[in-house]
C-alpha cells in the first residue's frame, strides 16, 4: 500500500487524560487551605496576642483574598493549558500542539525520518486508568524528543506512531 493512496483518516489525535487535572486540583486545594490557615492564624490566634485594629484586619483579609484570587486565576490557566495539549500525526511527522495565549500557541515535533522510536511507560495505574507517559525519541538528539505525561490511550498512540513510522520510512528507503 503506497503512502500517496492513504486517506487522511490514518492520522490520529491524542489528548491529555482527566488524571492530569487531578494533580492541579490537589495542589490548588492545598494552596487555598494554606491561605485560609494563614488568614485564620492572623485574625484569631495572633489577634489574641497582638490586638489588631479593625482596619488592619480588613487589610489582612484583602491581602489573603487577593492571593486567593491570583491562585484561582493561575489554576484556571493551568487547566486551560493542560486542556490545550494535543499530540497528533500528519504527513510530516509527530507533533505536539499547545498554548492558550496567542503568543504561546505553537507546535513542535519530530519528522518521520528523524524518529528513533515511540515508547510508553507501563504500570498498574497506567493500565487501570488507560493513561500513559509517552516518549517519541529523536535519532540524533534528546533535546528534540517528545515527552508527554498522562496521554489517554497512550499505548495506542505509541502503536499508531510506530506503525506509521515504519510505513513512512519504508517508503523513503524504496525511493
Q: What is the pLDDT of residues 6-50, one digit of tens each?
A: 445 678 899 999 999 998 999 999 999 999 898 888 777 766 667
Q: Cell triple for residue 130?
A: 488507560
Q: CA 157, CA 134: separation in Å to the nearest integer?
A: 8
Domains of the chain: which residue ranges?
10-17+89-170, 20-82
Mean pLDDT (the chain, rounded): 86
CB 139 within 8 A of CB 115: yes
Secondary structure class of 98 (helix, strand, coil):
strand
Per residue in 64-108, pLDDT tens?
889 999 999 999 999 999 999 999 999 889 999 999 999 999 999
Amino acid at each position: 500500500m503506497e503512502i500517496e493512496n492513504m486517506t487522511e483518516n490514518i492520522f490520529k489525535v491524542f489528548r491529555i487524560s482527566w488524571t492530569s487535572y487531578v494533580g492541579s486540583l490537589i495542589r490548588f486545594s492545598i494552596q487555598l487551605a494554606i491561605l485560609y490557615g494563614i488568614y485564620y492564624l492572623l485574625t484569631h490566634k495572633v489577634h489574641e496576642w497582638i490586638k489588631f485594629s479593625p482596619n488592619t484586619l480588613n487589610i489582612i483579609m484583602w491581602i489573603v483574598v487577593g492571593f486567593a484570587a491570583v491562585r484561582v486565576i493561575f489554576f484556571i490557566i493551568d487547566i486551560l493549558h493542560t486542556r490545550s495539549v494535543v499530540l497528533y500525526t500528519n504527513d510530516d511527522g509527530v507533533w505536539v500542539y499547545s498554548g492558550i495565549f496567542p503568543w504561546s500557541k505553537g507546535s513542535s515535533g519530530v519528522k518521520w525520518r528523524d524518529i528513533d522510536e515511540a515508547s510508553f511507560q507501563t504500570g498498574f495505574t497506567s493500565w487501570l486508568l488507560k493513561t500513559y507517559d509517552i516518549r517519541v525519541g529523536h535519532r540524533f538528539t534528546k533535546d528534540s524528543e517528545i515527552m508527554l505525561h498522562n496521554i489517554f490511550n497512550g499505548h495506542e498512540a505509541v502503536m499508531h506512531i510506530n506503525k506509521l513510522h515504519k510505513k513512512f520510512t519504508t517508503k523513503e528507503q524504496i525511493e
